[in-house]
A and B are shown apart, each in its own frame.
Chain A
Amino acid sequence: MITAGLDVGALTIKAVVLKDSEILGYENIPATAYAVQSSHQVMDKLLGQLNLSYEEIDYCVSTGYGRQIIPFAQANMSEISCHGKGAHFLHPLVRTIIDIGGQDYKAIRVKEDGSLEAFLMNDKCAAGTGRSLEIGAESLGVEISELGPLSLEAKEPVRLVFICSSLMAIEVKQMVLEGKNMADIAGGINDLTARRVASIVRRLPPKKEIVLTGGVAKNVGVIISLERELGARLVQLPVDPQIVGALGAAVIAKEKADVGNS
């Protein structure tokens, strides 16, 4: 049986195709204002690679901000459930999922079977999200992918005063002008993200094992800061951390198809 999961996020769109319980492939593209068009784009790309057609997909579940308007999805689920399912599928011992997305972040605790136990999220303020890291990188004049590696060279990471991303941008630009060390500033930007995210994770509270998902999980500096803030190691996943939500959607699609067939 072939199932698909689609995660229509604020900044990126992700698709995963499963054959029974095996990941056949995944794809990740930047989002546009037109969710339907972009979701076709990512799916066409992935199906092309796998030599599959839309008709061969037995069930498709969508998730993310734009989940309700995807024409080829038979059902949609919240990102919370999908992230829980996806992480549990990859690593059954995971009980806490921290997902840092483009415009929000969430802390999710699941039971031993992967079902949802508790969650907290912030979608009111951009500080701590991927967008805020993007703004920080822009102000520093580096690519977002450089923030992590650069921060590893920090000797004394700066402590940024402002939480608000638009003020942080100004603060970072002023530090650059003052000639502060770039690596130390990069470290400060990552630390700010970790501080913000850790504050909701602690309120959850978390249980081991803990995993970080979403695009920000590609930033090694945030991982290290977050591990320090939480006093715990984060589990590494064997796939792109950005596709966990889409993977969870594909796993749920399989469950739904199984129920339908029996």
Chain B
Amino acid sequence: MIFAGCDLGIVSAQAALVKDEEIVALETIPYKNLPRQAAKEVMEKALKKAGLSWSQIDYCIATGHGKRAVPHADGFVHEMGCLQRAVQEINPRIRTVIDVGGHTLQAFAINEKGGISENVSLHRCVTGTGLYLEVIARALGMSLEDILEASLTSEEPLMVTSQCVVLAESEVISRVNEGNDPKDIFAGVVRFAAVRIGSMARKVPIRREVAFVGGMAKNAAIRNHLEESLKVAFAGLAGIDPQAVSAYGAALFAKEKYLSISKKEWPEP
């Protein structure tokens, strides 16, 4: 039995394939054009990796902002639900999940029964997300990877004051014109992002263990700032790409959903 999960965001798409109990593929791609094509492309990539074909997928659940545009979806589950399902599977001791992706920030608490007790999400503003760092890197005329690496060596991070990415964009340009080093500016921007993520996360009670997921969880500088300010060490994710956790949760839902439908369809004895 093959179960698929697809998480379609606004700047990236993720796919997960689960065969019985085992993950056979986890893929993530950035995209700039059509969400529908990105969903198809990432799933094809996952199928290829697993040596499978479209027709072998028994059930697929889509999640994320663009879930309704996933062409091969049999059903939909909210992103927070998928994350909760996935972290429960990965490590049932996880009590707090912080998720920062390309354009959203959210955090939620998981109670002893495994349900979501408190949650907070910031969907209206990208400050603190991956897109935020990307826009500022572009304003500084560098790729995100290069400027991130350079900023790690900054000894004097320069704090930005604008809370909005668009206003921060012109603020950093003025800072460059004033003769400041882009690496110091970006180090300040990274710190600002971490502060924003931290203050959002504190709105749900932070209880151990804490998982940090989403594309931004791959950013070492953000992770370090956040671990320091929240005074926690983030839980491991059993080798699963933090960006693909939501797609993995969707695949787990696909399996549950398929099995429950199959049961109903069996004739009563």
Question: B-facing mask of A99-128, CB < 8 A → 1, else 0?
Answer: 000010000000000000000000111100
B215 CB to nearest chain A CB (Å): 15
Q: Mark B18-36, 1 if CB is under 8 A from A, else 0.
A: 0000000000000011110
Kindly supply a per-residue 1/0 record for chain B positions 125-151, scoring 1 wherever the CB is within 8 Å of any chain A CB and 0 otherwise.
110000110010000000000000000
Q: Which of chain A's residues has its CB closest to B165's CB? A: A166
Contact string against B for A residues 152-189, beta-carbon threshold 8 Å, 1 for contact and 0 otherwise? 00000000001111110011011001100000000000
With A124-B163, A125-B163 already in contact, the answer to whether A167 and B10 are too (CB < 8 A) is yes
Contact A178 B34, CB 8 Å, known A33-B177, A164-B165: yes
In the assembled complex, which residues on chain A have CB atoms less than 8 Å from the CB atom of B173?
A: 33
Q: How far is the CA of A103 from the CA of B166 in the complex (A)?
A: 9
User: B154-173 vs A: 1/0 string, CB under 8 Å?
Assistant: 00000000011111001001
> A123 — nearest CB in chain B belongs to which residue?
B167
Query: B174 at interface (Cβ–Cβ under 8 A)?
Result: yes
Specify which chain A residues have a CB less than 8 angstroms from the CB of B165 in the assembled complex: 126, 164-166
Contact partners of A171 in chain B: CB under 8 A: 10
Known: A125-B164, A135-B166. A167 touches B34 (CB 8 A): no
A10 within 8 A of B: yes
Q: Does any Cβ of A come within 8 Å of B11's Cβ?
A: yes
- Contact size class for B? 20 to 34
Asked whether B125 lies within 8 Å of A125 as measured between CB atoms, the reply is yes
Q: Which residues of B contact A164 (CB under 8 A)?
A: 103, 124-126, 165
A131 part of interface (Cβ distance < 8 Å): yes
Which residues in B have their C-beta under 8 angstroms from that of A131? 166-167, 170
A167:B170 contact, CB within 8 angstroms: no
Q: Is the CB of B34 within 8 A of A126?
A: no
Which of B11, B164, B165, B170 is most buried by chain A, counting CB atoms within 10 A of its CB?
A: B164
Contact A167 B126 (CB under 8 A): yes
Distance A167 CA – B127 CA, assembled complex (angstroms) = 11
Tell me, in angstroms, the Cα distance from A174 to B33 when the chains sit together.
Answer: 6
B interface vs A, CB < 8 Å? 10-11, 32-35, 103, 124-126, 131-132, 135, 163-167, 170, 173-174, 177
Closest 7 CB pairs of A and B: A126-B166, A33-B177, A125-B164, A165-B166, A163-B124, A126-B164, A164-B126
